[in-house]
Chain A
Amino acid sequence: MNDTPHAQLADWTRGEAGIALQGCTACGHAWYFRREFCPACGAGSPRSMPAAGGGTVAALTLVHRAPDDAFRAEVPYALVLVELDEGVRVMAHGNPDLVIGDAVQVSFRLIAGRLLPHFSRA
């Protein structure tokens, strides 16, 4: 895993084609939601690392009732929870034919006007 400053990592939440993770240099804990400290042990200065993009499907739902007009144009769309190989869970879009337990790989697609993570069978 790289030791790249977070600001330089591709991060879909900023419109870029990547999933950015963080890891603790003190206790080794890895996590997804960005913060300036380790939520497990409280140590500061976590390192940032790009997710390799591989993982396993843990949950899947096909959304038929969208929250707004932008997503209404996309229904039905599949949302998935994926356990990444790095041991971190992420929520993303996915192919509707996925089933729990599938090995998957991420790509990034323009959905409802935003570049979003999308998983397909590896």
Chain B
Amino acid sequence: MMRAVGAGVGALAAGLAVVATAAPGDEGATAIVRGEAVLRAAGGCSCHTNYPDEGDTAPPLAGGRALATPFGTFYSTNITPDDETGIGAWSDADFLRAMTEGLAPDGSNYFPVFPYPAFASMTRRDLLDLKAYLFSRRPVRRADRAPDAWPPFRWRVSVTGWKLLNFRPHRFEPDPQRSASWNRGAYLVNGPGHCSECHTPRTLTGGLDRSLWLAGSTEGPEGELAPNITPDRRTGIGDWSAIDIAWYLETGIKPDGDDSQGLMAEVIEHGFARVPGADRAAIAEYLLALPAIEHALKAPPRPE
């Protein structure tokens, strides 16, 4: 474990060294380095890269990825710093408003397929560092695509109702009764990691079902099954050790030797495999301290 942690810290230090050499002592450069760490903790923001259709040639972070939901298919947005089709013209305030209120610079709503309810809990510094990193990337010209959904789900104005029902923005508050690593894990899981967005089932109105927090969902984005990650022994990950979880987040290999597939494989490859080992350990500590919820998942029948 120590070795795994050491390797992770080593990798991060190497990353720091590379960018620090480019602009020594520059506050902007360190914000970019910190911002990349935030992006990794957010699973590499890989929903904004169209890997399924374009593979490794997909322009990073330029959006256009189809995200199938029970309410229709939504397409991720271009978050490269292109002035016209991306977020290049955004101010810091625009970025914060998008991430914490789900509002575009023109005041219209973002569809809740964008996990702003999780990002709203992030520190303002992490969010602005993330913006600094995104703005250091290559701008890509690619216009955002309208959703393939039926009214009212395709109307942005409908999201106002959704927000009234389901959106309770709150910033992360550390729990002084718990360890620093538990608090770090809580922040990562519920903030940047936005684990609940896939691993918590949704109510009829598309809000997260708080009684089944992280207890698994059969209706994750792209129709994926997101397992129960509470420490229930039978239906969750209660028989995994903290080391098993941290190792899984680094390698994608489960305790039984099987690998990870789908969105989680991307989240690991572009995200958690590249965060410091201490962060993976913190996530593991937090998950194993969650209340165990018995919730067995069966995939919904789908047409052959």
Tell whether A pairs with B.
Answer: no
Q: Which residues of B line the A interface, CB within 8 A?
A: none
